[in-house]
Structure 1
Amino acid sequence: MIYLDYQATTPLAPEALAAMLPWLESQHANPHSAHAPGRAAKAAVEAARDDVAALMPVGGAVSFTSGATEALNWAIKGTTGPIVTLASEHAAVLDTVEAEARKGRDVTVLPLGSDGLVDLAAARAAIRPGTRLVAAMLVNNEIGTIQPVEQLADLARAAGALFLCDAVQGYGRTRIPDGCDLVAVSAHKIHGPKGVGALWIRDGVTLDPLLHGGGQEPAGRSGTLSPALCAGFGAAARLAKQRFGADHAHAEQLFRAALAHLDGDWILNGSRDERYHGNLNIRRKGLDVARLMSDLRDIAFSAGSACASGSGRPSHVLRAIGLADNEARSSIRLGFGRYTTEEELLTALDRIIAAARSQKVAA
């Protein structure tokens, strides 16, 4: 199996697995207990917290969550007042702000250009005094575009609003701007375990709780933490920091090699330059993606976001950049990174190109 679905999830790093195993095999104490084993578990959680925070801006604290979906819900529902966000956001943001709108909260969703980027002039007009929260994704999970988050955060601050950054796809891969007030991340997108994420909260920012109970986390999030998951997250974050340059260079090389390998029948979706280069979202006129995936079952790639797979709807991100439904449905997403070899990627591309051509011949 050639795995090219890094935006959906990444392979677990051996270092993360090694960090988790003791807490799964023999060290089972509750990290919120006062006895010695509990204190040892708490120490592991706090060490992991420091590792996760090391990739965040300075001047805030990390609260562990069950994942980025919870973190984003908490950040949005824990605030009040008008919200401005983008049409390309993850469902965890768009569905949450839609739910808030049904309760009477004012919501503005900004459109995108054909390159997948927000128009800063339109953002400037929408983010005005009275806005309370601006939410934008750093690296898009479907087309890899990198939004001008730093400028959006500046606009939010000038309007007196908080800025929420969905950094799930960018965390550990690109710098998170200092102007963020809230940052949501997930372990399994950086070679850590599934089931744990975090919300970084700037000092002085307070949120209403999403979950009520013991209030175990620094910002009041309730629930017993898993030392194993936290330790795995911490190890993955520590490794991402150590390998930041090497991982970035590897993704760049793979992206260049992939683009050079494609023929002229394929079109890149989204900006070529303002994007994370571990994402290759491409389309081919008339491509039957379902048939392609059936023909290439030993290659793991995606027709879009894993969170929306099986819905039958064309990607909202591809529609937001102006693609017709048939263009969106003829697009595929290849995600690659640390453990992908160039040989694997080019072999997969050869087979994808050949299978796509055979469709055209058969037609």
Structure 2
Amino acid sequence: MQVYLDNAATTPLTPEVFEAMKPYMLEFYGNPSSTHAHGRATRSAIEKARKGVADLLHASPSEIFFTSGGTEADNTAIKCAIESLDIRSAITSPLEHHAVLHALQALAAKKQIKLNYVHTDSKGNIDYDHLKALLDGNERSFVSIMQGNNEIGNLNDIGLISEICAFHDAIFHSDTVQTLAHYPHNLSKLKIHSIIGSAHKFHGPKGAGLLYIKKGHQIAPFIHGGSQERNMRGGTENLYGIIGLAKALEIAYEGMNEHRKHILALKQRMIKGLKERVPGITFNGESGNMDKSLYTVLNVSLPPSTDADMLLFNLDLHKISVSGGSACSSGSQLGSHVLQALSADPERGAIRFSFSKYNTLEEIHYVVDKLANMYNPVSI
């Protein structure tokens, strides 16, 4: 059996998405910026996709911009807002994706902003009172806090954060890569300036992302060139990637409740099985808490002195694909910055299991069996 449990990294393409993309790979190849019939056909397809995405997110088509993925979208939302609005203070958490952390740290290194980190507890939960204090103590700030953590699965209350930021007249951006298409978003009711998405996180193509910029939140482009994306992103559009993103989002919304119920059952079964069969196993952050974490992510804290690299190697030998991590303190290149921020025990390695609608209970049983047998080898 071959098992893929690294869906937080990327997901398999849904066949219906590929079928939607295929005509725009082979038949409809006109440049969307061209005014002839070939160009008009592809321009129409892009705008139809934009409207479909906007409708699902309760946004206006004019607020949706297509990008090459989440990293570009984060960098655009962060760097262009800070520079366009002449913001000197920024706040984030130490648990953010590197697309956010490195973008803000680069600006701080150039003395463009003063960067503050909101406190988190040992489980990775945001200290909202500290966020308020930081906003009280600084000039108008840019705040970037993700909705769902890609490593430990923690869910942050972006509704509450948006209200706090609105009260302090702060700009609020959220990296929603792990939640878009897995949770509903009603952007017409959320006091947020920008969110992002990446198609390959919800069974769409790689190289296609989206950026929502709230109407009235005017920022300069990140990529300069032609007048594409209403002068917000130069360069010929990734036509079939955009078509695939819109189709994948549509499919995700159609089956969201069903998929959530299915995946949650898989996660609960894995937690139960691991607790029963692997002594000393625990879970990092809030990933073991069904109410406070992504239903798609489970981050396992391995018993002390476990050789995590060897364990991952053995899982790979059994055709089980997962992600690993540790809280090594000797540098970010050798460990997870998220686990380091939680002051996790460096003697305990970590495995991140992340699930999708295509996983089965049979696969979960297989993975639990293999992992348990590595700790308690069965005599032959």
TM-score range, shorter chain: over 0.9
Conserved? CA contact 2:121–2:342, under 8 Å: yes
Deviation at 1:312, TM superposition (A): 4.5
Alignment of 1:47-126 (within 5 A): 47-58=48-59, 61-80=63-82, 81=87, 82-104=89-111, 105-126=113-134
Give the CA deviation at 1:40. 0.8
User: Is residue 372 of structure 2 the alignment partner of residue 353 of structure 1?
Assistant: yes
**Residue 11 in structure 1 maps to residue 20 in structure 2:** no
Shift of 1:120: 0.9
Paired position in structure 2 for 1:224: 236
Runs of 5+ in structure 2 lacking a partner? none
Relative distance call for 1:193 and 1:135 in structure 2 (3 A) is: same
Do the aligned partners of 2:67 and 2:208 also contact (CA within 8 Å) in 1?
Answer: yes
Letter in 2 for 1:34: T
Measure the CA separation in 2 of the matches of 1:356 and 1:108: 42
Match of residue 149 from structure 2? 140
Counterpart of 1:343 (choices 325, 338, 362) is 362
1:292/1:356 contact within 8 Å kept:
no
Q: Tell me, in whole angstroms, the C-alpha distance in 1 between the residues paired with 2:93 and 2:227.
A: 32
2:166 maps to 1:164: no
Moved over 6 A (4+): none
Partner of 1:293: 312
Other-structure match for 1:37: 38
1: distance between equivalents of 2:295 and 2:325? 16
Structure-1 separation of matches of 2:207 and 2:102: 20
Of all paired residues, the percent bearing the same amino acid is: 34
1:64 Cα shift?
A: 0.4
Tell me the TM-score normalised to structure 2 length.
0.89
How far residue 289 of structure 1 moved from its aligned partner, in angstroms, is 1.7
Q: Distance in 2 between matches of 1:160 and 1:217?
A: 28
Report how far residue 356 of structure 1 moved: 3.6
Q: CA deviation at 1:3?
A: 0.3
Compute the displacement of 1:53 (Å).
2.2
**Counterpart contact for 1:134–1:164, Cα < 8 Å:** yes
Provide, for residues 45-89 of structure 1, a one-character-per-residue CA deviation record: whole Å limited to 9, x for no partner.
112212222342435611001111000001111022111111110
- The answer as to whether partners of 2:135 and 2:141 remain within 8 angstroms in 1 is no
1:154-205 Cα shifts (integer Å, max 9, x gaps): 1111111111010000001123361221011100001000001011010001
Cα deviation, 1:285-308, whole Å, max 9, x if unaligned, reads 222121112112210000149xxx
1:223-268 deviations in whole A, cap 9, x for unaligned?
1102111111010010011011111111211111111111342101
1:278 pairs with 2:296: yes
Which SS does the other structure have where 2:324 is aligned? Answer: coil
Report SS of the residue matched to 1:63: strand
Could you say what secondary structure the match of 2:228 adopts? coil
**Alignment partner of 1:130 is 2:139:** yes
Root-mean-square deviation over aligned CA pairs: 1.9
TM normalised by structure 1 equals: 0.93
CA distance in 2, matches of 1:123, 1:116: 14
Give the 5 Å matches for 1:177-192: 178-192=190-204
Cα distance in 1 for residues equivalent to 2:214 and 2:298: 33
Letter in 2 for 1:270: G
